[in-house]
Amino acid sequence: MSLPNFFPQQAKHRQFNVKPRYYDPEKERIEELKKRYDPSVSEDEKLAAAKARIHESFRRDPKKAKGTLSTKRLLIYIAILALLLLWILS
pLDDT tens, residue by residue, 17-76 = 888 788 888 998 998 888 777 778 788 887 888 888 888 877 765 556 566 667 888 889
Instruction: Give the contacts of 46 (CB within 8 A, at least 6 positions apart).
Output: 36
Contact call for residues 35 and 41 (beta carbons, < 8 A): yes
How far does Cα 7 stand from its chain's mean position? 43
Which of residues 90 and 9 earns the better pLDDT score? 90
Check residue 24 and give its pLDDT.
Answer: 86
